C-alpha cells in the first residue's frame, strides 16, 4: 500500500509567537523561517500581518526568503485584514491566506453577538475576497472542537463552494478527546459535499495535554495536514509539537502516512527555537528534551547497554541526537558504572568493580548525578591499581 503524505504546517512564528514574552524581531524570525524551510515543512505561517507593522514587515521578509514552503498569513474574516495579508505575501513563491471566524455557540454569541446564518455569510465573503488575491485559501472554523458537527459541516460546505482549498478544524481550547476529534473529522469527510477537493487540517491546542493525540486521531480519520509548532510552544499550554507528530508517523509505518520532514534536524531546530524565543524545553519533553534519550535507573541501563532497543523506540540519530546517555545516579547499577568507566578508559575486573560499586553508591547518594569528574575522583579514592 502506498504511503500518503501528511502536510506539516508550522505556526511557530504565529501561534507559537503568541506566547507571553516570546516576541521576536524580524531578524530572529528570518533565522527560524530559514531553518523551517530546510527542515522540510510544507507551510510556514509567518505571522498575522495586520497585527502590527513589525509583524507585517516580518511576513514580507519571510515571503521573500522562503524557497520551498508555502508562506501563509493569518487574517480575521474582514476585508482590511485580508488586503493587508495579501499585500504582505506579494513576494511569496507560494502564498496562502489563512482566514476564518469562530463557529462555536459561545463564539457566535459572545464574541460576535451574531447568529449562525450571519457567521456563514461572513465566512463565505472572507473566502471569496481572499480568493481574489491568491489561489490558496485556508479557512479556519475557530473553536471547531466545541462546534456542533452539523453546523460545522454546513460552514465547511459553503466555504469550499466559495473557493477554500484547505479546511482548518481547530480545537482552539484543547477540549476534545482524541476519539471525539477523530470522529469530528470523519463526520466532515462523510457529510460535506466537495470535501474530496480540499485538504482537512488539524490545529490542536494542548490545554489537557491532548494536542498530539488529537492531531494523530485527526490524520487517522482523513485529515492530511497537521498544524504545529517547534517544542509545542503556543497560547496557554501550547500547540501540537511538530517533533512529536512527525516522529509518531515515522515510528508507526503501518499508518501509511509520511511527512517531508528531515527528522535529523529536529533536535537542532528545537535548540534554535529555545534559544531565540527564550522558552526552555522541559527535560522530559518527548523527542527533543534533554532526558529523551537518557537512562538513569539500573534496570534500564543494563538493558540499553546490552541492546539499545530494550528501552528505546527511536534511534537518537534519527532526530539529530548523537547518542543516548547513561546517567549515573544512586539508582544506577554495576553495569552502568562499568560502562561509563570503560568509556573513560578504565577496564574494570569483577573484583575491582566489587570494591568500587559500594563507594560509588555512597558518593552518588550525596550527588544528583555522578559525572566523568566524579568517576575519576572515585578511582583515586579507591586507590585500586586500575589498568588505564
Ligand atoms: O487556535 C485557533 O483556533 C487558531 C486559529 C486562529 C487558526 O489559532
Ligand atoms: Zn491556535
**Consecutive 10-residue averages of pLDDT for the chain (388 residues):** 95 94 91 98 98 97 98 98 98 98 98 98 98 98 98 98 98 98 98 98 98 98 98 96 98 98 98 96 97 95 95 97 95 95 93 94 94 94 63
pLDDT of residue 384: 60
CA distance 126 to 162: 9
ipTM of the complex: 0.99
Contact, 258 vs 5, CB < 8 A? Answer: yes
Cα(142) to centroid(ligand 1), Å = 6
pLDDT of residue 21: 80
Cα(159) to centroid(ligand 1), Å = 17
Nearest CA to ligand 1 atom 7: 140
- Indicate the SS3 state at residue 204: strand
Which cell numbers in the block locate residue 232? Answer: 509545542
Residue 34 sits at the vertex; the CA angle it makes with 32 and 39, to the nearest 5 degrees, is 90
pLDDT of residue 314: 97
Measuring from each residue's beta carbon to the nearest atom of ligand 1, which residues come in under 6 Å? 15, 140, 142, 168, 170, 172, 203, 205
- 255 CB burial (10 A radius; 0-12, 13-18, 19+): middle
Cα(284) to centroid(ligand 2), Å = 24
- Indicate the SS3 state at residue 140: strand
| pLDDT tens for each residue of 306-358 | 999 999 999 999 999 999 999 999 999 999 999 999 999 999 999 999 999 99
Question: Among 336, 328, 340, which Cα is nearest to 366's?
Answer: 328
Contact, 99 vs 72, CB < 8 A? Answer: no
Judge if pTM exceeds 0.90.
yes
Ligand 1 atom index nearest CA of 142: 3
Cα(363) to centroid(ligand 1), Å = 51
Residues 6+ apart with CB under 8 A from 353: 334, 337, 338
Which cell numbers in the block locate residue 66? Answer: 522562503
CA distance 165 to 7: 13
CA distance 70 to 117: 32
- Report residue 142: phi and psi, to 5°: -60, 140
Amino acid at each position: 500500500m502506498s504511503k500518503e503524505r501528511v502536510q506539516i504546517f508550522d505556526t511557530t512564528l504565529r501561534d507559537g509567537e503568541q506566547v507571553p514574552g516570546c516576541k521576536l524581531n524580524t531578524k530572529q524570525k528570518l533565522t527560524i523561517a530559514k531553518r523551517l524551510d530546510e527542515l522540510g515543512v510544507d507551510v510556514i505561517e509567518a505571522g498575522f500581518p495586520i497585527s502590527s507593522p513589525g509583524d507585517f514587515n516580518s511576513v514580507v521578509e519571510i515571503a521573500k526568503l522562503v524557497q520551498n514552503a508555502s508562506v501563509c498569513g493569518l487574517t480575521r474574516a474582514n476585508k482590511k485584514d485580508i488586503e493587508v495579508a495579501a499585500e504582505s505575501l506579494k513576494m511569496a513563491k507560494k502564498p496562502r491566506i489563512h482566514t476564518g471566524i469562530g463557529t462555536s455557540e459561545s463564539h457566535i454569541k459572545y464574541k460576535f453577538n451574531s447568529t449562525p446564518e450571519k457567521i456563514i455569510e461572513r465566512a463565505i465573503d472572507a473566502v471569496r475576497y481572499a480568493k481574489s488575491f491568491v489561489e490558496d485559501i485556508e479557512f479556519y472554523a475557530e473553536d471547531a472542537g466545541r462546534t456542533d458537527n452539523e453546523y460545522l459541516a454546513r460552514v465547511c460546505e459553503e466555504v469550499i463552494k466559495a473557493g477554500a482549498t484547505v479546511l482548518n478544524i481547530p480545537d482552539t481550547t484543547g477540549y476534545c478527546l482524541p476519539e471525539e476529534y477523530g470522529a469530528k473529522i470523519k463526520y466532515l469527510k462523510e457529510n460535506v459535499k466537495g470535501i474530496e477537493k480540499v485538504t482537512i487540517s488539524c490545529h490542536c491546542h494542548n490545554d489537557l495535554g491532548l494536542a498530539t493525540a488529537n492531531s494523530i486521531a485527526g490524520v487517522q480519520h482523513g485529515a492530511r495536514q497537521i498544524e504545529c509548532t517547534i517544542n509545542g510552544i503556543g497560547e496557554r499550554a501550547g500547540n501540537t509539537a511538530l517533533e512529536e507528530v512527525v516522529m509518531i508517523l515515522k515510528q508507526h509505518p503501518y499508518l501509511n502516512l509520511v511527512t517531508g520532514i528531515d527528522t535529523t534536524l529536529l533536535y537542532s531546530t528545537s535548540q534554535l527555537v529555545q534559544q531565540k524565543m527564550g522558552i526552555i524545553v522541559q527535560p522530559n519533553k518527548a523527542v527533543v528534551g534533554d532526558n529523551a534519550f537518557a537512562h538513569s535507573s539500573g534496570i534500564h541501563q543494563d538493558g540499553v547497554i546490552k541492546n539499545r532497543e530494550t528501552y528505546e523506540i527511536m534511534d537518537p540519530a534519527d532526530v539529530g541526537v548523537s547518542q543516548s546517555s547513561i546517567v549515573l545516579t544512586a539508582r544506577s547499577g554495576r553495569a552502568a558504572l562499568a560502562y561509563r568507566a570503560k568509556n573513560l578508559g578504565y577496564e574494570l575486573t569483577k573484583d575491582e568493580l566489587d570494591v568500587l560499586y559500594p563507594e560509588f553508591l555512597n558518593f552518588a547518594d550525596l550527588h544528583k548525578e555522578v559525572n566523568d569528574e566524579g568517576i575519576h575522583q572515585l578511582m583515586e579514592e579507591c586507590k585500586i591499581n586500575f589498568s588505564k
